Structure 1
Amino acid sequence: MRKILFLLIFLLAVQYNYSQNTYTINDQQLELKTEIDGKLDLLWNTFNGQYRYFVRTEDGQIQELKNTKGTDNKFQEEYKSLLSKLTNGQSTEKLKLTIFDLKKFLDNYNASADSSYTSVQKESKVKIRLGFSGGITNNPFVGNPENKIAPLIGTELEVFEENSLIRHSGFLQVRYAFESDELQYSTTEFSLGYRYRFLNKSTFSIYGQVKFATLNFTTATVIGSNNSELNINVTAFDIPLIFGIGSDIKVGENSFITIIYGELFAAFLDNQGNFSTDISVGYKFNL
């Protein structure tokens, strides 16, 4: 039940920032997202797996950008003539009916027609953060009958598109869970994951994260059938979808204190009977 509840909260938080409005177009009620807001607005959504695009003029009139097939089975490209008319004859010869092309075309027109318009086209610039952390874990997906805690250290590279308030990021993480006297188990884990910041302020952020893929190099000592100790070394690759939450707290122009509850639950790994204790505190900075 906890898995389902957390997953729903995570998905709703992502959806919150992609809100859409309902419009009446040709007697149809359509929910559309606004991609461009200017003299000419670009609205769109998917319906039954098909993309539909609309343009809205300053007087509020909404027209669909169509590309239907004629009797000769060739595409008519009606959207090109409509956009050329609405933009005072700008060339649409090479314009494709895709979100990327339409966004670029209308953004350029709005910028040329209105000096106060703020362009949404920005040159993508990828940035990287390097982080180090330490904490504790009870290795929630490993047999641990007495729920013993072990030290944990980690490092990661977080990749994101430069923005004043980043929301999406990917990360490559390496962490090592130490062996303890009570639990003779240790593992080095490499993982790839994604973070979404559902609360994003200039001084701190709170995010949900999911680790898509993991590669573990594990060493463990187990008791054999004749009560002898056996040392086991295992290498395992998984796609477990491990969910967690975390927070970055800004402490400098390019540096952050980070708190991560890294392994709340996994979609494809079973918790071994103990509530997850997997908490790290660390420091990260922009490279």
Structure 2
Amino acid sequence: MGKASRVNQTAVSGFHLLGFSEQPEQQPLLFGLFLGMYLVTVVGNLLIILAISSDPYLHTPMYFFLANLSLTDICFTSASIPKMLANIHTQSWTISYSECLVQLYFILTFGGLDNFLLAVMAYDRYVAICQPLYYSTAMSPQLCALMLGMCWVLTNLPALLHTLLLTRVAFCAHKAIPNFYCDPRALLKLACSDIRINELMIITMGLMFLTTPFMLIVLSYARISCSVFGISSSGGRWKAFSTCGSHLTMVLLFYGSLMGVYLLPPSTHSAERESRAAILYMVIIPMLNPFIYSLRNRDMKAALGKLFGSSKTFFPCQ
């Protein structure tokens, strides 16, 4: 490829995001819609964190990881939505080179952390149901803190490495990204230099961020199912499964949306499809998290009620 069609990364001033319609009459609706969803996400997850931290009854491993999941969802959504809202408001669809790299790093970090936390929460349910006598030992505060720390390390290091590898990539003059955030796959399509190492890194991160946590979740629920179906009473089976319902719902939503994008044949891929899928797992699912974990959880309802000062008024526990 000739030098005329290549732009060194140091000369790249920014990229053009093409995730949504640029028609002026649609911008107020888009701005209000995404601002509303973002505020619901932040406020809802903050309430989950405050309720768990303020109620000693919820100071257990399951709610410890749920609080961290809520914090991760806030950060995950905040990595992309505020910039998108600013672009809609200013009618400027550009993102600078440095902003793009920073955004990419945080999206990879908190997206990966979401995956690992879901896997750790599945393990917590496995120990609670299949090995209840060893639960206090297997899920001690020290081990919970260690698992959380490992989740942070296992997501930060690959995300940082992938971001640093992108600084070595030379981009072509055409710098339009068909999404509302700096999608790593879309960025590599704009490259005019050798990206084999970057592609290898994406495959490695895919195995780490998706396959490994997902297989741990599947294995945990396979063992849980074997134990639950061994319970003689239907009431006991329902009680055991009910403790996993919220988590299983989040797993199905999160991995279902990701697999709908990355496991479909390339011929079915389109910018519009990928933007919609990104909205699902980056905006809608984090927004649903507080509702999924609170509406059918009596302990969480009671804690949220105490937080507001009246459990009967706001969240009646029937």
Higher relative strand content: 1
Output the TM-score relative to the length of structure 2.
0.24
Higher helix share: 2
Which has the greater radius of gyration? 1
- State the TM-score, normalized to the length of structure 1: 0.26
